[in-house]
Structure 1
């Protein structure tokens, strides 16, 4: 993990220096939950808005079954609700974050204590029209290996919308995992927006994949 300061916000910077251990990540977010929205709003966090609009460009049907993977306090769900989507589920590692997500009223169902790397133990395979994961593929949180796990939850032809912070992309094997999925014809990269607004600490990349089959 990098030692240099990444964010001017103390809590966000601490999150980016987590060690990726699920128990450590969970405890951090249990403690941060009550201030999370304040801190992220103050950082001009645009990831949820961009990702939701990106999904809408490729999947306009409002009754599509959507899964917000790593839903946090529900920022993505609120954006999806504003676009008219009516069937949105979510999960997160932190129970305290999930409580806040449920309180938004944007979700049909939200589950806590779900490790993304083991999400297939809680959700049936090929059960969603689209899966979004925003603010999760970032330093100290989940490895790029979570990408095929999420893809497995999408139906054939379903979409996967992902955000990656630029420094996460630069410092992990995310591109290698993407290349493996596309080369093996498990998924097609439909759209990639690089170096787009993410928050005031830096830019991000936004990915749209379509599951093969």
Structure 2
């Protein structure tokens, strides 16, 4: 049994409003339009802020992309691409990401999107549909949300993943933890192969 992760109480020593921007982005009660407006307002400082919090999700994701996305001519979806830090970290690779809608993809990456008030667990049903058989779906997320976020805790997110395994839609290839994902939080990494 793993220890319960510490709450995220990061406070910057800077005088600007970075902590409130981060905390606001993961708070509930906002419509999709309001959430988009929050991120639009934060976009020019987002990458800088996340680096100051010790966020290493894109670096972790690139390691897994190089390991599992073998077809460099494939079509890969960056789910929740945001400001595109994966593209920046991935410049030495020949993998191309699409943030526009195509009918099918050779793989899908979801990095840092399973956070409060963002993705619902059942979104993975669509991922099984749009990723071609044999394609890879991998998820990099803050492990704490598996126990602390009501939309994901008590097995809700794990259950959504397992349901697709049980239905024969994908298989779990790897589940690993990585230290120092966001300050001292641990990353939970899932790699699935679509059937």
TM-score when normalising by structure 2? 0.82
- Contact 2:142/2:182 (<8 A) preserved: no
Secondary structure at the counterpart of residue 90 of structure 2: helix
2:52 equivalent to 1:42? yes
Q: Render the CA deviation track for 1:191-212: whole Å, top value 9, x for unaligned.
A: 1112543111522211111001
| Match 2:37 to one of 10, 27, 33 | 27
Q: Structure 1 regions of 5+ residues with no counterpart?
A: 91-110, 112-121
Query: Kindly tell me: are residues 148 and 20 of structure 1, through their superposed partners in 2, closer, same or farther at Cα, counting changes over 3 Å?
Result: farther
Q: What does residue range 156-167 of structure 1 map to in structure 2 within 5 Å? A: 156-167=133-144
Q: Render the CA deviation track for 1:99-140: whole Å, top value 9, x for unaligned.
A: xxxxxxxxxxxx4xxxxxxxxxx431xx21111011111112
Query: Kindly tell me: are residues 19 and 136 of structure 1, through their superposed partners in 2, closer, same or farther at Cα, counting changes over 3 Å?
Result: farther
Instruction: Write out the 4+ residue segments of structure 1 that deviate beyond 3 Å after TM superposition.
Output: 4-7, 18-21
Q: Render the CA deviation track for 1:63-113: whole Å, top value 9, x for unaligned.
A: 22211111010011222332222x3212xxxxxxxxxxxxxxxxxxxx4xx
Rounded to whole Å, the distance in 2 between the matches of 1:7 and 1:26 is 23
Query: Kindly tell me: are residues 44 and 25 of structure 1, through their superposed partners in 2, closer, same or farther at Cα, counting changes over 3 Å?
Result: same
Q: What does residue range 1-213 of structure 1 map to in structure 2 within 5 Å? A: 6-8=9-11, 9-19=19-29, 21-85=31-95, 87-90=96-99, 111=100, 122-124=101-103, 127-170=104-147, 171=149, 172=152, 173-194=156-177, 196-200=179-183, 202-212=185-195
Secondary structure at the counterpart of residue 112 of structure 2: strand
Query: Which protein has the bigger helix share?
Result: 1
Which has the larger Rg? Answer: 2
Q: Structure 2 regions of 5+ residues with no counterpart?
A: 1-6, 12-18
Secondary structure at the counterpart of residue 26 of structure 1: helix
TM-score when normalising by structure 1? 0.75
Residue-pair matches, total: 176
Pairwise CA distance, 1:186 = 0.5
Rounded to whole Å, the distance in 2 between the matches of 1:166 and 1:75 is 21
Secondary structure at the counterpart of residue 136 of structure 1: coil
- Contact 1:20/1:141 (<8 A) preserved: no
- Contact 2:57/2:141 (<8 A) preserved: no
Rounded to whole Å, the distance in 2 between the matches of 1:203 and 1:188 is 23
- Contact 1:166/1:205 (<8 A) preserved: yes
